[in-house]
Every structure is written in structure tokens, then in C-alpha cells.
């Protein structure tokens, strides 16, 4: 039967029948051929695509050349088609297996019909797609140039995202008064990277209103023609003939073009020379911006920057992130390496350039021993570490080289004598410079300002700091470049002084902040000019220690609290200008000091144990300019003794000091009423007094009028004295006073006279049992008309009140306290309210110390005030 059917339905019989059924049978009996054709046509399409793609990629290697949108869309459609064909071909083998009767029929007619039709349609689409590709003529073209041209950035912007955002907001802010923006900071801090990121942000952020962004590098010796050429290329003047025009002609062309545009000009690395933008042809009109980087804060002023941003060092976390990124470290090799790497990163002190250099140098180091050795090297001398001299210190040295005078360079190098992270008191530093002969009495502050503006020293109120990487640079320069020969072992824990052999030929030595107990050897240092031995444990100095130091100009023995006497051999220091004995336990000054005829600075402050200073010793220092004697001999009540100028009435001491014609600054301690009276006999001394300490005056002859006449008085302390007669009757303000301490002073109920001390920063009142209030409202009304607007405590930073059993209030009403940082209260049981409200010290973090019981009983202006200050309390 099956044979009969097969014979009956032969191929010749079935074909016409199937054609009769709508003529659609071709999708089944033609399936295998169509699949083969689809494969062939797809291969042809892919070949056409590859030809066009090669052509486009070659063209795109040229600047500002991009593929057309139509060809890009065609490529995308071809890729979609390739995917469809591949998926269809996977199903094709299964569909072919379903065919029967020699391929003219199917075991699943409906499925095979649908599949065959899809293959046929896809083949036709592939053929049409290939024809479109063959017809394409313009597959690439020149695109309009954007506002900015992207610049390659060497490093990531780790830790500087915040400043980038602030700079960007300032640029895109259309306010007229923010047209010139300066970014300043020391070398290697990341200013150029930041400016490149600003430039590239114009490429990615289309929400700005500028037509063109121009980039130019200025550098140390500015090439003004090259800056004009950089500007010209970005605005269409790129021909050789234009570059051959005169400077003035180019400037005119630039002006005529840019005055019709909103532009941003990015100038990288301006040094101290001002760039005259108008002279270059750059019009300073509304809506356009100038952004520049510089190592010198002062350049922001010269360029008349409307806004300036300091680019600072990275914090610990950001520095660690950058260090890891630079080295690409894997910490799996040894468990110790991660912590060693963190120590290594800390040696870079947050300077991005150093972090990258050291991170790259340590890449691939897998043994802890390698890391420990590297830490030893960079800690001892950064210049000895791989690539630090070439890539970091030499770049930092550009700032040193650019300083306009030798005195500036010498003053900077001097700062590396102080320990790492030191806060160097400004006035102290200038005195060192004077004693060394680098500056005179009028130029010291100018030099200090120049170094701060050059970002080589950091501003810190009364102090300056030298960044540790700048310090490393200075040590490298002093020892290897300038051949000054510094021996600096400050703050490294020495218990013995370096061997005498290391002292030979050295010009300056700093052994500050160690644990050295004695100086038993005799150095031979004919070149030595500075010897800093402060903050050690020195008990004795051998008699002949100073005999071979003929050039020594500066000697600091301060803060050696075990030092009780000076050797007679100190008389050999005939060149000495600067002698600091403060905070030592020396008991007297030897007669041999008379040999120091060149002494210009003598510091005896806080030498509590001194009981004897020979007559005619102080007056023998005819060149003395600074004499500091605050709290000198305070542990010994002065007595009249023949041959000793330290006496209760201070008369002979005042006479000797008065003889010093070059003296321009003194600090003094006075005992008893007679001592104060003798001081007041010498108006010259009052005029040069910077700090005054008064004790044991039952009847204080000093009054506010005297203080007002002391033009240079900055610090006053009054202990165990009667202030009953100090009333609010002053005829003038005590302008320069910054610090006031009143202890154990009786019969005083208030200090309303403080309204005449407008710049007071530090106030301590202790053991004043009669004190009821600091500022009396009633007494204040007596002077309000005389004083005009009162800004009570507007500069106050520190307030300490203790053992004042009757103190009820500081002031009746809340005060702003815009500068206040710390309040300390102890044993003031009646003080139930502070003069604060929710606006006091707004934006500042105040610390308030006191007993928990006192704090819990404190009354507040309102709930908002209590909420504002509750986090500030620290129980003591």
C-alpha cells in the first residue's frame, strides 16, 4: 500500500499540486537553497561592512574627522542583521531535517512554511542592506570643533574633586565680578592636573555658555608670542603668515575676534611676572573668564584675581588612595606590606607628585624587607630615594630658584633647622634671621610675607609652618647644592650629641628636641654660625666647649630644665648675636658674659631660678636690641644685695636697661609697688615694653592711662595685686594688647575697663574672690558715649575663669564671639549662665570645659541655644 502511495505521489505529480496551493510551496522545497543563499549574501554584506569600516577608521585618525551618522547607523543595522542570521542558521539544520519527499514536503508543514518565508525575507533584506552600503559615498566628514580640545591627564584627581567643583561653579557663574580666577599652591600639589580637568570638563559638560576654551602654558620665562599663537590657533589664526605678523598686529586680531565671543582662557604655570592680558590682545569683557595656576599666592594679587583658590595637600585617606593607584599594589604577597605601604605613603606628606613618584618606585616590591629599607632611606634623606631628586625635589627647587633675592633663599633654608611639623613663631624666626644678618629690623616681615606668598611657608596665625617635603628640599639644597653644610638631627630621639667628626666644616647645626644630657667633647668648628640645642636634657657643658666656635652667631639652649649654670668658657663666643636661655634652671649669669660685646638678642624668660645678675653686665651689651626677662627670677623674691641688679625695687636694673641705646623691645617682671614706680620713671622703657608681669602690689601705681601709652604692649599679667582703683576712666584704647592674665587680685568686682582692649585674644581670670562680673552694664553705660559702638570681645579666642566664688556673670546679654574657640570654667559656683545665644560664634567650633555638675545646672537663653552648644561640652 505504501508503495502504491509513493508511486502515486511522485515528484512530477506533487510539484504542480503544491504550486496549485497558492504558489507558496517554494518556502518549503526551496528552504535549503535559500539558507545557502542567505549565508553567501551575509558574507558579502560583512565584507562590504569591513571595507567601509577600514576606510572610516583610517579617516578618523585625522583631527576633527568623524564617521557620518548614516554610516554609523548602517554599521549598527548590519550588526543587528548578523545576529539575526546567526540565530536563524542555528534553527536551519533542525528545519532541514523535517523535510521529506525529497525536500518537497515537510513533516510539519506550518512550521517549515513559516521558517522558509522568514529565510526568504531575511535574504532579501541582506541584499538590500548590501546595496545601501555599496551606494554610500560620504562615510566620514569634518565635524565642528567643540568649545575645548581634550588634554591628556597624567594622574587621577584623587582628593581634589571638591575644589574642582568649586572652581567649575565659579567659572560657569555669570557674575561680572568673578572674571579672573587664580589657583595657587606649591609645586607638585596638582594645580596643572586640576586645570586640565577643568579644560576637559568643557568637553563632557555641554551645559555651559562659552564658545571657545583656550589653553596655554606660561612657564617661568613667559614667551608672549607663543601665548598669542596658542590663542590664535583656537580662534582660527593658524597660518604661518599670521604668526609672522608683529606682536601688535596679532594682538589686534585677537581682540577683534574675542570681543564677540564668550571665552575661557586657561593659563598654566604663571610665575611671579604679571601677564598683561590686554597687551596680548585678550579683552576683559563681561561673561568671559581667565583661569590661571601659579606657585605664588602673590601672583593672584598681581593678576588682580577676583577669586582665588588654594590647592592644598591631600588628607591621609586621599593620599593613600593616590599612592595605591600609582603603584598598583597587590598586598597578597605578605601580610605586613599593607601597613608598611601606609607608612611609606605618609612619608610623602600629602604631596601628589611625591605620592606618584614613590608609589611608582615601589610597584612590584613584594618583600617586607624591601619596604623597610625604603622607609629608612626616605626617612633619613628624601633626596636619596629613587627618583625623588630628579622628579620631585628638583621641581620644588624651581620655586626656591625663582626667589628674587639671596636673602629670601637664605631665610628659607634656615627654616629646615626646625623639627618636622614645627609651628615656628614668626617673631622668633625673624629674630634668628636678624642675628644671622639675613635681614635688618625693617625687612624681616617683608621676607616672611614673600615666602608665604611663594607657598614655601604656610601661614598659621602667630606661627608659620614648613611643609615636610619643602623641608626635605631645603635640606637637600643646603647640603648638596649650595654646600652650606647643615647638620640637622632635630626631633629624632638622640641621647648623645653626634660625634665631633660630624661637626667639622658644618655651618649650621640643629639638635633641637632630643634627649641629649651633656656636651662633654670640644668641637672645632670655625665655620659654625648657628647651634640650636633647645628642648634637650642637658645638665652640663664642658668648660672648653665654646673655645673653638669663633664664628658662632646664634646659640639656643632654651628648655633644658636641668641646666643650672653656664661654663666660663662661653666668653669665647665673641661673635655671638643671639643667646636664648629661656626655660632653663640657670641660677645666675656669669661675669664672663661681658665678653659678648656683639650680643643683640638675650632671652632670659621663665628662668625662674635666677637669683643673681651681676651689676654692669646688662649695660655692657651695648648692641642689645631685644631683652626678654619675663618671669626671670620669679621663684626667688628679689632682695637688695650688693653687686646684684635683681632687687625688689628694680631701680638698678631699670637704669642699666635704660642705658642700652639700641634696645627696641623688652619684656619684664616687676615686684611690689616700688618696682612698678621705678619702671614708670623711664618713659623710654614703657614705649618698648612688649610684655609685663606684675606681682605683689598692694597699691598698684599703674593705671589704664599708662597702659594706653604703652604702644607695643601685647601681654599683661597681674598677680597678687590690688586692682580696686582701676576704674573706667581711660583716655585711650590699649590697641595692641592680646593677652591678659589676672590672678589672686583682691578688691576688684569687675573688669569693665576691658572695653578699652578691643583686640584681646586671650583672657584668664583666676582666684579673684571678689569678682562679681566681668563687664558691668551700669559702668558700661558711663563710657558708651565716649566709645561709640562697642564690639565686646570681638577678637577673643580663649577664656578661662577659675576659683571665682562670687562671679555671677560675664555679661548680662548674649555676645557674638565671632573668634571664640575655647572656654574653660572651674570652681565658679554662682556662674549659672553664659553670654551665648544660638548665633554666638556661628560657624566656629567652640570647646567648653567644665565640671559636669556645673554644666547640668547651667541656664540657657532658649532651647535653640542649648541645642547648639550641647555638643561643645567636654567634662574636666
C-alpha cell at 240: 604661518
Half-sphere exposure of 200 (CA within 13 A, CB side): 14
Transcribe 114-178 into DSSP letters: HHHHHHHHHHHHHHHHHHHHHH----EEEPPP-SS-----SS--TT-HHHHHHHHHHHH---GGG
Within 8 A by CB and 6+ apart from 293, the residues are: 182, 183, 184, 191, 192, 194, 195, 267, 268, 269, 270, 311
C-alpha cell at 531: 647651634
Beta pairing class for 739-743 and 762-766? parallel
Transcribe 743-801 into DSSP letters: ES-BS----GGGGG-TT--EEEEES-TT--BSS-HHHHHHHHHHH-S--TTTT--EEEE
User: What pLDDT, on a 0 to 100 scale, did the predictor assign at position 394?
Assistant: 87
Q: How far apart are CA 814 and CA 834, in angstroms?
A: 8
4 exposure class (CB count in 10 Å sphere: 0-12, 13-18, 19+): exposed
Alpha helix ranges (H) inside 181-246 = 191-204, 224-235, 240-243
Q: How far apart are CA 574 and CA 591, in angstroms?
A: 14
The cell 612590584 sits on which residue? 364
Q: What is the DSSP letter of 453?
A: H
CA-to-CA dists, residue 268 to 49, 283, 403, angstroms:
45, 19, 19
DSSP 3-state assignment of 365?
A: coil
Work out the mean pLDDT of the chain and round it to a whole number: 86
Domain 390-483 fold is Arc Repressor Mutant, subunit A (1.10.10)
Phi, psi of 645 (to 5 degrees): -85, -10
User: What pLDDT, on a 0 to 100 scale, did the predictor assign at position 176?
Assistant: 59
Domain ranges of the chain: 2-142, 161-310, 316-380, 390-483, 485-574
What's the Rg (C-alpha) of the chain? 42
User: What pLDDT, on a 0 to 100 scale, did the predictor assign at position 9?
Assistant: 42
Write the CATH number of the domain with boundaries 161-310: 3.40.50.300
Q: What tens digit of pLDDT does each residue of 340-384 get?
A: 999 999 988 888 888 888 888 888 888 889 889 999 888 888 888
Q: How far apart are CA 105 and CA 10, in angstroms?
A: 12
Q: How many helices (H) and strands (E) does the chain have?
A: 30, 30
Within 8 A by CB and 6+ apart from 313, the residues are: 189, 319, 349, 350, 351, 467
Low-confidence ranges of the chain (pLDDT < 70): 1-33, 60, 62-66, 91-114, 141-145, 154-156, 174-177, 206-207, 636-642, 725, 727-731, 782-789
CATH among 1.10.20, 2.40.160, 3.30.70, 1.10.8 for 316-380: 1.10.8
User: What pLDDT, on a 0 to 100 scale, did the predictor assign at position 31?
Assistant: 62
Rounded (10°) CA dihedral 425, 427, 428, 434: 140
C-alpha cell at 737: 594688647
Largest CA distance in the chain: 155
Q: What is the DSSP letter of 392?
A: I
Answer yes or no: same fold for 161-310 and 316-380: no
Rounded (10°) CA dihedral 376, 377, 380, 381: -160
Amino acid at each position: 500500500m505504501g508503495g502504491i502511495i509513493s508511486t502515486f505521489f511522485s515528484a512530477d505529480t506533487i510539484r504542480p499540486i503544491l504550486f496549485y496551493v497558492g504558489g507558496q510551496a517554494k518556502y518549503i522545497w526551496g528552504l535549503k537553497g535559500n539558507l545557502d543563499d542567505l549565508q553567501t549574501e551575509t558574507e558579502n554584506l560583512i565584507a562590504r561592512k569591513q571595507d567601509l569600516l577600514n576606510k572610516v577608521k583610517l579617516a578618523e585618525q585625522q583631527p576633527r574627522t568623524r564617521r557620518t551618522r548614516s554610516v554609523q547607523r548602517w554599521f549598527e543595522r548590519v550588526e543587528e542583521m548578523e545576529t539575526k542570521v546567526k540565530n536563524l542558521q542555528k534553527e536551519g539544520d533542525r528545519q532541514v531535517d523535517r523535510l521529506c519527499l525529497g525536500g518537497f514536503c515537510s513533516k510539519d508543514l506550518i512550521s517549515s512554511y513559516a521558517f522558509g518565508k522568514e529565510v526568504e525575507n531575511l535574504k532579501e533584506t541582506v541584499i538590500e542592506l548590501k546595496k545601501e552600503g555599496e551606494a554610500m559615498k560620504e562615510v566620514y566628514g569634518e565635524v565642528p570643533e567643540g568649545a575645548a580640545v581634550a588634554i591628556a591627564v597624567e594622574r587621577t584627581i584623587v582628593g581634589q574633586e571638591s575644589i574642582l567643583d568649586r572652581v567649575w561653579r565659579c567659572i560657569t557663574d555669570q557674575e561680572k565680578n568673578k572674571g579672573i580666577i587664580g589657583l595657587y599652591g606649591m609645586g607638585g600639589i596638582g594645580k596643572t592636573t586640576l586645570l586640565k580637568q577643568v579644560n576637559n570638563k568643557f568637553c563632557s559638560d555641554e551645559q555651559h555658555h562659552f564658545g571657545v576654551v583656550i589653553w596655554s602654558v606660561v612657564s617661568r620665562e613667559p614667551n608672549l608670542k607663543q601665548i598669542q599663537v596658542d590663542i590664535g590657533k583656537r580662534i582660527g589664526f593658524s597660518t604661518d603668515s599670521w604668526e609672522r605678523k608683529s606682536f601688535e598686529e596679532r594682538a589686534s586680531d585677537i581682540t577683534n575676534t574675542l570681543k564677540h565671543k564668550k571665552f575661557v582662557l586657561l593659563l598654566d604655570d604663571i610665575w611671579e611676572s604679571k601677564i598683561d592680558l590686554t597687551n596680548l590682545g585678550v579683552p576683559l569683557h563681561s561673561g568671559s573668564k581667565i583661569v590661571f595656576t601659579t606657585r605664588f599666592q602673590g601672583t593672584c594679587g598681581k593678576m588682580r584675581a577676583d577669586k582665588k583658590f588654594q590647592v592644598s595637600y591631600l588628607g591621609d585617606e586621599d593620599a593613600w588612595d593616590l599612592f595605591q593607584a600609582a603603584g598598583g599594589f597587590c598586598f597578597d604577597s605578605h601580610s605586613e606590606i599593607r601597613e608598611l605601604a601606609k607608612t611609606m605613603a605618609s612619608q610623602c606628606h600629602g604631596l601628589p607628585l611625591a605620592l606618584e613618584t614613590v608609589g611608582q618606585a615601589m610597584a612590584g616590591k613584594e618583600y617586607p624587607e624591601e619596604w623597610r629599607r625604603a622607609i629608612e632611606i626616605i626617612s633619613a634623606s628624601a633626596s636619596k630615594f629613587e627618583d625623588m631628586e630628579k622628579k620631585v625635589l628638583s621641581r620644588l627647587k624651581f620655586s626656591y630658584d625663582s626667589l628674587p633675592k639671596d636673602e629670601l633663599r637664605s631665610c628659607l633654608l634656615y627654616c629646615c633647622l626646625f623639627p618636622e611639623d614645627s609651628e615656628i613663631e614668626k617673631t622668633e624666626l625673624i629674630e634668628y634671621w636678624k642675628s644671622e644678618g639675613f635681614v635688618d629690623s625693617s625687612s624681616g616681615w617683608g621676607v616672611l610675607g614673600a615666602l608665604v606668598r611663594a607657598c614655601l611657608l604656610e601661614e598659621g596665625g602667630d606661627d608659620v609652618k614648613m611643609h615636610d617635603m619643602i623641608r626635605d628640599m631645603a635640606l637637600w639644597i643646603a647640603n648638596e647644592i649650595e654646600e652650606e653644610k647643615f647638620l640637622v638631627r632635630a626631633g629624632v630621639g638622640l641621647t648623645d650629641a653626634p660625634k665631633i667628626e660630624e661637626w667639622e666644616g658644618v655651618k649650621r647645626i640643629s639638635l633641637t628636641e632630643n634627649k641629649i644630657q651633656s656636651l662633654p667633647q670640644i668641637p672645632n668648628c670655625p665655620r659654625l654660625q648657628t647651634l640650636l640645642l633647645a628642648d634637650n636634657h642637658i645638665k652640663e657643658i664642658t668648660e672648653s666647649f665654646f673655645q673653638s666656635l669663633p664664628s658662632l652667631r646664634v646659640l639656643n639652649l632654651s628648655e633644658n630644665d636641668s641646666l643650672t649654670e653656664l661654663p666660663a668658657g662661653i666668653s669665647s663666643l665673641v661673635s655671638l648675636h643671639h643667646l636664648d636661655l629661656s626655660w632653663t634652671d640657670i641660677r645666675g649669669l656669669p661675669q664672663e658674659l661681658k665678653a659678648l660685646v656683639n650680643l643683640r638678642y638675650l632671652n632670659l624668660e621663665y628662668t625662674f631660678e635666677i637669683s643673681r645678675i651681676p651689676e654692669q653686665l646688662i649695660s655692657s651689651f651695648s648692641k642689645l636690641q631685644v631683652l626678654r626677662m619675663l618671669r626671670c627670677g620669679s621663684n626667688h623674691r628679689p632682695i637688695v644685695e650688693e653687686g646684684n641688679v635683681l632687687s625688689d625695687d628694680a631701680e638698678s636694673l631699670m637704669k642699666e636697661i635704660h642705658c642700652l641705646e639700641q634696645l627696641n623691645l623688652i619684656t619684664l617682671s616687676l615686684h611690689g609697688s616700688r618696682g612698678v614706680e621705678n619702671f614708670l620713671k623711664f618713659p623710654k622703657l614703657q614705649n618698648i615694653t612688649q610684655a609685663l608681669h606684675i606681682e605683689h602690689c598692694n597699691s598698684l601705681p599703674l593705671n589704664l592711662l599708662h597702659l594706653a601709652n604703652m604702644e607695643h604692649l601685647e601681654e599683661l599679667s597681674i598677680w597678687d595685686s590690688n586692682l580696686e582703683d582701676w576704674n573706667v576712666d581711660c583716655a585711650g584704647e590699649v590697641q595692641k594688647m592680646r593677652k591678659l592674665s589676672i590672678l589672686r587680685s583682691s578688691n576688684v568686682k569687675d573688669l569693665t575697663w576691658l572695653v578699652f582692649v578691643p583686640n584681646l585674644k586671650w583672657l584668664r581670670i583666676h582666684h579673684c574672690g571678689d569678682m562679681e562680673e566681668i563687664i558691668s552694664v551700669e559702668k558700661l553705660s558711663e563710657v558708651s558715649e565716649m566709645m561709640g559702638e562697642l564690639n565686646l570681645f570681638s577678637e577673643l579666642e580663649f577664656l578661662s575663669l577659675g576659683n571665682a566664688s562670687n562671679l555671677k556673670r560675664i555679661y548680662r546679654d548674649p555676645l557674638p564671639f565671632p573668634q571664640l574657640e575655647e572656654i574653660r570654667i572651674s570652681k565658679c559656683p554662682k556662674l549659672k549662665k553664659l553670654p551665648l545665644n544660638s548665633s554666638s560664634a556661628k560657624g566656629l567650633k567652640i570647646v567648653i570645659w567644665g565640671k559636669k555638675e556645673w554644666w547640668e545646672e547651667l541656664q540657657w537663653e532658649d532651647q535653640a541655644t542649648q541645642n547648639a552648644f550641647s555638643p561643645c561640652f567636654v567634662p574636666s
